[in-house]
Chain A
Amino acid sequence: DSGVTQTPKHLITATGQRVTLRCSPRSGDLSVYWYQQSLDQGLQFLIQYYNGEERAKGNILERFSAQQFPDLHSELNLSSLELGDSALYFCASSGARGDTQYFGPGTRLTVL
């Protein structure tokens, strides 16, 4: 158990809809990272937040957005969903030193 929690575990929705994925980092960790893992693209970094502020962006689509709240939990919002957005979405967290990232169990999103 990494100490990072993600909800929900599974999510099934339709094209065009909007969903929100939630992540709670390990106690004391200030950085949260979001990753997408699809069959054809592998694990890809989407975005990082540090103490409420956006720190780095990876291959995140404009339809996707994220935020980190004062209690340090983070939400990833996916809108105008397409079939190709079906994937595993992982959240990771790290401490102030920013070295080792610890991953949550993921949310499996299925877009029908």
Chain B
Amino acid sequence: DAKTTQPPSMDCAEGRAANLPCNHSTISGNEYVYWYRQIHSQGPQYIIHGLKNNETNEMASLIITEDRKSSTLILPHATLRDTAVYYCIVRAIFMYSGGGADGLTFGKGTHLIIQP
């Protein structure tokens, strides 16, 4: 899986949009960009993923650049409960006989702190 680079920490004011960047310059054509977050020792929570098109769900939006070498996770209206470590993970999804895929490789992520 391609390596990702994220800033170690970021601050954002409550109610504002939080924009978390991720660089993945060695991404391959069959690799997806995944975002997870972990709120203080809880289990990592899936947020969103995408291949090349921008994606949006009830939690966030994912913007992937045209060359796919970087992406931005956007939390549109950050709340105090969004304070967490956010992980950007690049991985290929492959189907072998019977399906399934191997484990995720977590880096250090970005510690997002929402300020009241």
- Asked whether, in the complex, the Cβ of B103 is within 8 Å of the Cβ of A99, the reply is no
Using a CB-CB cutoff of 8 Å, which residues 36-94 of chain A contact chain B? 42-48, 50-51, 55-56, 58, 88, 90, 92, 94
Which residue of the partner chain, among B44, B46, B93, B105, contacts A98 with CB atoms under 8 Å? B93
Find out whether the CB atom of A105 lies under 8 angstroms from the CB atom of B43.
yes
Stretch of B8-16, B58-66, B76-84, B94-102 at the chain-chain interface: B94-102
Residues of B within 8 A of A58 (CB): 102-103
Q: How would residues 13 to 31 of chain B score, 1 for a CB under 8 Å from any chain A CB and 0 otherwise? A: 0000000000000000000
- Are the C-beta atoms of A45 and B104 separated by less than 8 Å? yes
- Check if B105 sits within 8 Å of A48, measured CB to CB: no
Closest chain B residue to A91, Cβ basis:
B43
Main secondary structure of the interface of B (DSSP, over half): loop
Chain B residues with CB below 8 A from A95, complex form: 99
Number of chain B interface residues as a range: 20 to 34
Q: Beyond A98-B93, A100-B49, is A33–B44 a contact (Cβ under 8 Å)? A: no
Task: Let me know if B100 and A98 touch, CB within 8 A.
Answer: yes
The residue that B106 contacts in the complex, of A42, A98, A102, with Cβ under 8 A, is A42
Closest to B94 in A: A98
B69 at the interface (CB under 8 A from A): no
Let me know if B102 and A45 touch, CB within 8 A: yes
A30 within 8 A of B: yes
Across the interface, which residues of A come within 8 angstroms of B101, CB to CB?
A: 31, 94, 98-99
Bound together, the chains give a CA A41 to CA B43 distance in angstroms of: 16
**B43 near A104: Cβ-Cβ < 8 Å:** yes
Give Cα A56–Cα B103 distance, bound, in whole angstroms. 8
Which residues does A use to contact B, with CB under 8 Å?
Answer: 2, 4, 30-31, 33, 35, 42-48, 50-51, 55-56, 58, 88, 90, 92, 94-106, 108
